[in-house]
Structure 1
Amino acid sequence: MVKSAPSRVLVYGVTGSGKTTLARQLGERLGVPWHPADDLAWEPGWVLVPNEVQRRRVAAICAGERWILDNAYGSWTDIPLRRADLVIGLDYPRWLSLGRLLRRCAHNLVRRTPVCNGNVETWRQTFSPDSIVVWHFKSFKRRRRRMRQWQAELSEPRILLFRSPGAVTAWLRGLR
Structure 2
Amino acid sequence: MPEHPHRILVAGASGAGKTTLARRIAAASGLPYQEIDALFHGPDWTPRPSFVDDVDAFTSQAGWVTEWQYGVVQPMLAERGQLLVFLDYSRARVMRQVIARTLRRRLRREELWNGNREAPFHTILTDPEHIVRWAWRTHGTRAALVQEAAARNPGLEVVRLRAPREAEAWLRRAFPSPR
Using structure 1 for the length normalisation, give the TM-score: 0.90
2:27 matches 1:34: no
Superposition deviation, residue 165 in structure 1: 0.7
Task: Return the letter of the residue paired with 2:142.
Answer: R
Unaligned runs of 5+ in 1: none
Tell me the equivalent position of 1:83.
80
Task: Return the letter of the residue paired with 1:117.
Answer: N
Task: Return the letter of the residue paired with 1:47.
Answer: T
Task: Decide whether the 8 Å contact of 2:68 with 2:77 is kept in 1.
Answer: no
Question: Residue 9 of structure 2 aligns to a residue in which SS?
Answer: strand
Task: Decide whether the 8 Å contact of 1:105 with 1:126 is kept in 2.
Answer: no
Task: Return the letter of the residue paired with 1:7.
Answer: H
Tell me the equivalent position of 1:108.
105
User: Over aligned residues, Cα RMSD in angstroms?
Assistant: 1.7
Superposition deviation, residue 13 in structure 1: 0.6
Structure with the largest fraction of strand: 1
- CA distance in 1 between counterparts of 2:106 and 2:124 reads 9
CA offsets per residue over residues 72-104 of structure 1, 9 Å max, x none? 211110111111111111111100011100000
2:57 matches 1:70: no
Question: Residue 114 of structure 1 aligns to a residue in which SS?
Answer: coil
Map 1:120-131 → 2, pairs under 5 A: 120-123=117-120, 125-127=123-125, 128-131=127-130
Identity of aligned residues (%): 29
- CA distance in 1 between counterparts of 2:59 and 2:43 reads 23
Tell me the equivalent position of 1:3.
3
Tell me the equivalent position of 2:138.
139
2:23 matches 1:20: no
Using structure 2 for the length normalisation, give the TM-score: 0.89
Unaligned runs of 5+ in 2: none
Superposition deviation, residue 48 in structure 1: 1.6
